[in-house]
Amino acid sequence: MNDKNTIITLLRDEFNRWEDLLARMSEAQLTAPISGSDWSIKDVIAHVRAWQQVSTARIEAALRNGEPALPNWLGGQDPESEAHREQFNATINERNRDVAWPEIYRRWRDGFLRLIALSEQVPERDMLAVDRYAWIEGYALIAVLEGSLAHHREHQEEIDASGTVLERKLNTSAPSTKPPTMSPATIDEYIAGFPPDVQEILHKVRATIRKAALDAQEVISYRMPAFRQHGILVYFAAFKKHIGLFPPVRGDAKLEEATSVYAGPKGNLKFPLDEPIPYALIGRIVKLRVKQDRAHAQAKKAKR
């Protein structure tokens, strides 16, 4: 991913998704073992929260231009060490085993929101520059956020696949416009997870993008439909009350003005489901992204 605002939006959406899931369960359900595992959902939340401490330490280090102050449960070891991974996870589990659920939840919630808030303070050029920070040699800082997002999604998918009470409880609730939590393999599969009226809109958005980007390839990236040419042109996704389009429009003043009514605080576009979807405007956005993507690819080629 090459856009700071998009990854932060995805993190915020992931946080809201977990908040929604956890709010549907009683404490007894949250602390009972997951089917086929010795862990409970409480244990999973403690686990992802602990590893997110590493991500937060790295973002804090970037902001102060120093070295990360890593959590002490690592015992001074490199958090990337595969040889110590089982030991790390066992330590996390042991330290949190007797902590009550409300405190586990508070730590996770506060930690997740803090990571998002800190990440918003990092300049985009610092977030995207490879080798900007020696302690993540070979990677851009945005990879830290991508890792935290992927880790939460990995465990949510494992919970759903286990057939736990969490999944059953969700399946007996009121219909939702949210897609299945298991990652779709294709855009068709993604769209099929929504109610018919939302599916119709998504199909039209997809066709609009395809018409404006004939050479682009359809992909699923971060569990969202996307179109890739040299790089990702656009992502689109359905939410409870809107269709989202990422990344923000940049580099065309007239188009930025035309889309401003749909732009959120970070510039990502939200098209309300209860209003006509501006398909022609989406087409203009995609054509701009195609032009920008080609220019970026040519500039990279010229530097070689």
283: in domain: yes
243: in domain: yes
Distance CA 274, CA 265 (A): 21
Same domain, 191 and 153: no
Same domain, 154 and 197: no
Condensed to tens digits (0 to 9), the pLDDT of residues 233-261 reads 999 999 888 999 988 888 899 999 999 99
75: in domain: yes
Q: Are 167 and 157 in contact (CB under 8 A)?
A: no
Q: Which residues pair with 33 in a beta bridge?
A: 40
CATH number at residue 62: 1.20.120.450
For 65, counting Cβ atoms within 10 Å of its Cβ (0-12 exposed, 13-18 middle, 19+ buried), the class is exposed
Q: Which residues pair with 263 in a beta bridge?
A: 269
Same domain, 167 and 204: no
Please tell me the total count of domains within the chain: 2
Distance CA 240, CA 45 (A): 24
DSSP type of residue 41: H
Same domain, 163 and 197: no
Same domain, 249 and 212: yes
Distance CA 288, CA 3 (A): 16
What pLDDT was estimated at residue 199? 96
Last residue of a domain, one of 171, 196, 227: 171
Q: Are 121 and 49 in contact (CB under 8 A)?
A: no
Same domain, 22 and 158: yes
Same domain, 159 and 293: no
Same domain, 135 and 284: no
- Provide the pairing of β-strand 224-228 with 232-238: antiparallel
Which residues constitute the domain of residue 46? 4-171
Same domain, 295 and 167: no
pTM above 0.75, yes or no: no
Residue 14: CB atoms within 10 A of its CB come to 21
CATH number at residue 263: 3.90.1150.200
Same domain, 143 and 38: yes
143: in domain: yes
Condensed to tens digits (0 to 9), the pLDDT of residues 157-205 reads 767 655 544 433 333 333 334 444 456 889 999 999 899 999 999 999 9
What pLDDT was estimated at residue 17? 87
Distance CA 280, CA 264 (A): 20
Condensed to tens digits (0 to 9), the pLDDT of residues 90-141 reads 999 999 999 999 999 999 999 999 999 999 999 999 998 887 898 887 788 9
pLDDT above 90 (res 80): no
Nearest CA to 181 among 5, 37, 3, 16? 16
pLDDT above 60 (res 217): yes
What pLDDT was estimated at residue 162? 57
